[in-house]
Amino acid sequence: MTIDQPTGHVTVRYKNDHGEEKVEDEHLDLPRDLANGMLITLLKNVRRAALPPSVSRVAATPKPRLMKLTMVVAGTEPFSIAGSTRVVTHYVVKVDIGGMAGLVAPLVGKQPTDPHGWMLEGEAPAFVRSEAPMFMGGPVWQTELVSPVWPRAR
């Protein structure tokens, strides 16, 4: 998918069920808060006490669709690094498809998985961990730094 934010031109290239390459070319009224491909950067730059109401994202489904993402704090969690205990903020990014599709999606198993991100707050915020699908309908991938040690689940 390519997005030209200033012009609102969105192109999605995909293969259909028969392996044929298809192209969807659309014009969307793209808002200024478009955050495609920047979830980790976005979470590194928010503060749990002042989260934005929402941000926008274009999904390639395969026809481009504008959605809203809402960040919520799921809590804080301890971890240690080099013997020093730290606390990260656990964010969940709620995906709102909107419209009639948003009402039907959970009923037909098409509701996107909510991404999760763990960020170390402070003067220099840092990414620590994420759990998110790499693409619509794909498996959830867990990405984390090698050095943190998390408490064992009980």
- Nearest CA to 93 out of 63, 117, 126, 125 is that of 117
Closest by Cα among 33, 26, 38, 29 to 56: 33
Identity of residue 149: V
Q: Are 132 and 141 in contact (CB under 8 A)?
A: yes
Every domain of the chain and the residues it spans:
32-59+68-144
- Give the model confidence (pLDDT) of 37-75 as tens digits: 778 888 888 888 889 889 999 988 888 989 999 999 999
Q: The pTM is what?
A: 0.82
Residue 83 has pLDDT above 90, yes or no: no
